[in-house]
Structure 1
Amino acid sequence: MPSQWPKSAISISPRPCIRSQCLMERHPKPDLDRRRNISTYGYVQAKSLVYSKHGSPQDVLDLHTHSISPPHSSLLTLRTLASPLNPADINQIQGTYASLPSFTSTLGIPQPSAVPGNEACFEVLSAGSGAKTVQKGDWVIARHTGLGTWRTHLQISEEHVTRVDKEGLRAEQAGTVSVNPVTAYRMLKDFKTLKEGDWYIQNGANSGVGRAALQLGKRWGYRCIAVVRGRPGEEGEKLKRELEDLGATRVVSDEEMMAREFKEQVKEWTNGGKEEIKLALNCVGGDAAMAMAKVLGEGGCMVTYGAMSKSPMRVGASMLIFKDLRFEGFWVSRWSDQHPEEKKRTVDEILDLIRKGEFRDVPMVEVPWNWDTKKEELVDAVQGTLEGFRKGKGVFIFGDT
C-alpha cells in the first residue's frame, strides 16, 4: 500500500462564515438534509474512525466529526456504502504492516491522525465541474489502497477511483472485490501455468482468498487440496462440505497435513504421484507451510501472501537443489499499483461472475454504521476481528449517514 495518502485524497474545509452559520441556526429544518447531513451551502458532515498512534484498536481508535466543502475541479464527494474489515487494516492500526498511512492534520484534529481501511464501495454525491469519468449517483471503488475508508464520507480526485457498473450488485460485493478475489485470481494465473486437471494446494482455505481461489480454480478445471484449521465434530464436517461445494477436491485439517501419512495420502489422490502438485498458496507460514512444500512436485512453486502463524519458514536445501522448488511472495497492494489496468480488468471479470451468480460472496458479518452509531459499537466490531473463529468477514454497512 502507498506509504502516504495522495495530497488530493482528502479535502476538508473550515467552517462556513459566521453569517452562514447564523442563517443555518435560524433555519435548521429547511437547511439540512437529515439523511445525508448536507447543508444548503454544500457542506457535508462526515464521521471518521481515526487513530493518532499505533496500538490495539480498542486503545487507539476514536470517532471524529468534520465538514467537507463542495467539490471543485476534478474532486468528488463520496458517501461510503460498504467497507470491509481486512486483516491488513488491523495490522496498519497496530503499526505492524509493511506500509502505513501517514498521520496528517487534514481532518482538523489537533494531533496528526490517520483513517484506517483500504477497501470500500462509494456512491458519488457530487462532482466538480472538471470530473470527466464519473457523475452523481455512480458507484466507485479505490484505484489504489491507502485512502482510509472507515468513514461516512470523503473527498478525493476522480483519478484515484474507478467507476463500477452497479447493476445487479450489492454495495458489499463491490466493496470487497479488490483484495481477496483479486489476490486469488492473480496467484492462480501468474506464478505457474496450470491447465485443466492440474493440482494445487492451499492453506487458509476457508478465508476470503481461499474461498475465492476454490471457486475460480473449479471454474478453470483445477483440482485442489484445501487445508483448514481443525474444528470439532459437526462443525468441521459442515465446513468440509461447504468447501467441497465451492470447489475443493480434498479437504484436510492442518493436523492431518502435519501427520506422517499425509505424503502417502497425497500420492494416492494424485494417481500414485503421477499427477504432480504444481502450486501452493500459503497464508500461514512456519512448519505448516513447509508441510505443503513437501508434497509439491518437481519445479513447483509456493506463493506466500500472508503469515498468520508469524513463524519463519525453514526451507530445506533438498527442496531447492533436487526438487527445484520456487518460493515467491505476492502483495496485492503493490501489484495493483503497478498494474492498474489489469486490476480493473480482473475486478470487472469477477464482478461479472457475481452478477451471473457464478461467484459466491465470502460469509459476511454486517456491522451497521448510521449517523447515531456510537464509537464503542464500531470499535468493538474492529477489535472482534482479532478474536477466535469468526462467522464471516466483518463489513461496515453505512445507513443514514
Structure 2
Amino acid sequence: MLRQCATRLSRPSPLRAIAIRADCFATSSARRTDRAVIYAENGNPAEVLRVKSYDPLPPPPPGSVNIRFRLSPINPSDINVVQGVYPAKPTQQHVSGEDVFIGGNEGLAEVVDVGSNVDGLHKGDWVTLGKAQFGTWASTRVISAEDVIKLPAGGFSEVNAATINVNPPTAYNMLHQFVDLKEDDWVLQNGANSAVGQAVIQIAARKGIKTINFVRSRPDLDNLICSLTQLGATHVFTYDALSDKSLAKHVKQWTSKSPIRLLLNCVSGPDTTAMTRLLGDNAHLVSYGAMSKKPLSLPTSLFIFKNLTTHGYWQHRWYQEHSRQEREKLMRTLANLKLKEPEHEILDLSGEPSDEAATKRLRDTLTKIEAGFSKKVLLRLQ
C-alpha cells in the first residue's frame, strides 16, 4: 500500500620545555584538565575507545592556532574508521606518553590562541577542520592555520556548525554536480531520514525542486513521514511501496513534464534496483553509501535503453580537489540556507570525575548507537 503524508506544512608547571608539532598534543607534569577519545588498535568502538586526560596546551607555534572543540559529532564513518574498514585513515598521535589514534573527523572548534604569522584568524572565531581525520574528539588541539576553515560569524548554531562539514555539503554537491536541476524538476532518494537525506529535502525545496523519498517501515512511520514533509518532501514512501504496481503509474503522472533524472543512493541492495524503474531517460544514479551492506546490482537494459549513468560520491574527495577559498564559499552558501538542526543528543563528558567514568558513559552510548539509536550524537569533552 502506498503511504504518504497528505498535507505539506509550509543549532605543577612544566619542568622542561616540550617541542611540539602542529599535529601533536603537548604533555607536561601539570595537572591534566583536557581529554581526548583515543584508541590504540582497530576494533569494536565500544571496546577499544577510551577517554584519556592530557595537559593543557602551551602557546601555539608560528603559523598555528590552538583550538577548543565545542561539539564533535559521532558519525557512522567515524565508527567505520575505528573499526578499520574506512578508506581514510587517521595519523597516530602522542597523547600523555602513548602513541594512539584520536577519534573524530568533524566538529566545531573555537580559536583560543593564535600563533605568530597567522592572518585572518582571531580568538573567538568559530572554525571547522580542513584536514581529514584530524581527531576532533578532543578538548583542545594545536593545528596549522592553513588546516582550518573559518565559519561565517552568526551563520550557524553550535549544532549546525558542528555537523556542517560532511552531510550538508554532500547533499548540496550531489544536487548540483551531476544534473542541472531546475524548478519543478524531480529527485529520487533513499535513506531520506538520514542526515544527508534531510539536507537534500531542504536544499531541494529551497530551489523549488520536488523530491520522492523512501524510508524503512517503522512503528512511528506516520510521524516520520509528516516530519520529512514539514522539511519540504513532496512524497514519502516505504520500500514496501516499490512492490505496488500502482506506484510507477503515479510517479509517471507526477513527473510527466519532467521525468526523474537524479537518484541519490545511500542504501544499495534490491530496493535501490527497484527504484531505478522510476527513472526517466538519461538519468544519473549517485551512490554515497551502502547502508544495506548489499551490492548495487543494475540490469544492463538500463544502460542500453535508458542511457543511465552511475557515479560514486565522497565528500572527502571533493575537499581534496578544491581550494580553501572554494570550501569557505561552500560554508557561506550552506550558512545562508539556514538548514534545520538534525535531531541530536549531546553526550557531555566534561563533568565526569575520572577518565574511567567518562569512558563508561562513552561506551554505553556507543552500544546504543550500534543498536540503532536514530538521533545524531554530539560529543562535548570540555
Tell me the CA shift for residue 136 of structure 1: 1.4
Q: 1:93-242 maps to which residues of 2 (within 5 A)?
A: 93-102=82-91, 104-110=92-98, 112-167=99-154, 169-232=156-219, 235-242=220-227
CA distance in 2 between partners of 1:134 and 1:219 (Å): 32
Q: Aligned in 2, Cα 1:366/1:14: closer, same or farther, shift over 3 Å? A: closer
2:276 aligned residue: 293
CA distance in 1 between partners of 2:184 and 2:26 (Å): 58
Percent identity, aligned pairs only, is 34
Q: Which one of the candidate residues 337, 357, 375 is aligned to 2:359?
A: 375
1:48 aligned residue: 36
Q: Aligned in 2, Cα 1:223/1:168: closer, same or farther, shift over 3 Å? A: closer
CA distance in 1 between partners of 2:84 and 2:372 (Å): 21
| Conservation of the 8 A alpha-carbon contact between 1:92 and 1:100 | yes
Amino acid at match of 1:321: I
SS at match of 1:385: helix
Runs of at least 5 residues in structure 2 that lack an aligned partner in the other structure: 1-19
CA distance in 2 between partners of 1:155 and 1:209 (Å): 30
- 1:209-241 CA deviation, whole Å, 9 max, x = no partner? 011110110111111101011123xx2111111
Q: Aligned in 2, Cα 1:8/1:254: closer, same or farther, shift over 3 Å? A: farther
| Conservation of the 8 A alpha-carbon contact between 2:39 and 2:101 | yes
Tell me the CA shift for residue 270 of structure 1: 2.3
CA distance in 2 between partners of 1:145 and 1:58 (Å): 23
Amino acid at match of 1:366: I
Q: Aligned in 2, Cα 1:283/1:346: closer, same or farther, shift over 3 Å? A: same
| Conservation of the 8 A alpha-carbon contact between 2:25 and 2:93 | no
1:59 aligned residue: 47
- 1:282-306 CA deviation, whole Å, 9 max, x = no partner? 0001112111212111100010001
Deviates more, 1:321-330 or 1:286-295: 286-295
| Conservation of the 8 A alpha-carbon contact between 1:80 and 1:149 | yes
CA distance in 1 between partners of 2:106 and 2:125 (Å): 17
CA distance in 1 between partners of 2:243 and 2:89 (Å): 35
CA distance in 1 between partners of 2:373 and 2:145 (Å): 38
| Conservation of the 8 A alpha-carbon contact between 1:10 and 1:106 | no
| Conservation of the 8 A alpha-carbon contact between 1:85 and 1:382 | no
Amino acid at match of 1:177: I
Q: Which one of the candidate residues 345, 369, 378 is aligned to 2:329?
A: 345
Q: Which one of the candidate residues 11, 19, 24 is aligned to 2:24?
A: 11
2:5 aligned residue: none
2:8 aligned residue: none
SS at match of 2:303: helix
Runs of at least 5 residues in structure 1 that lack an aligned partner in the other structure: 1-6, 22-36, 38-43
CA distance in 2 between partners of 1:339 and 1:143 (Å): 11
Q: Tell me the TM-score normalized by structure 1.
A: 0.84
Q: Aligned in 2, Cα 1:248/1:106: closer, same or farther, shift over 3 Å? A: same
Tell me the CA shift for residue 10 of structure 1: 2.3
Q: 1:205-354 maps to which residues of 2 (within 5 A)?
A: 205-232=192-219, 235-271=220-256, 274-340=257-323, 341-354=325-338
CA distance in 2 between partners of 1:79 and 1:176 (Å): 16
SS at match of 2:221: helix
Tell me the CA shift for residue 64 of structure 1: 1.4
1:88 aligns with 2:77: yes
Amino acid at match of 2:346: E
- 1:253-300 CA deviation, whole Å, 9 max, x = no partner? 0111244443223223324xx431110000001112111212111100
CA distance in 2 between partners of 1:278 and 1:362 (Å): 27
CA distance in 2 between partners of 1:224 and 1:119 (Å): 28
Root-mean-square deviation over aligned CA pairs: 1.9
CA distance in 1 between partners of 2:213 and 2:198 (Å): 10
| Conservation of the 8 A alpha-carbon contact between 1:336 and 1:343 | yes
| Conservation of the 8 A alpha-carbon contact between 1:202 and 1:282 | yes
1:31 aligned residue: none
SS at match of 2:223: helix
CA distance in 2 between partners of 1:129 and 1:15 (Å): 23
| Conservation of the 8 A alpha-carbon contact between 1:11 and 1:69 | no
Q: Aligned in 2, Cα 1:11/1:99: closer, same or farther, shift over 3 Å? A: closer
Tell me the CA shift for residue 105 of structure 1: 4.5
Amino acid at match of 1:326: T
2:11 aligned residue: none
CA distance in 1 between partners of 2:81 and 2:347 (Å): 20
| Conservation of the 8 A alpha-carbon contact between 2:213 and 2:235 | yes
SS at match of 2:94: coil
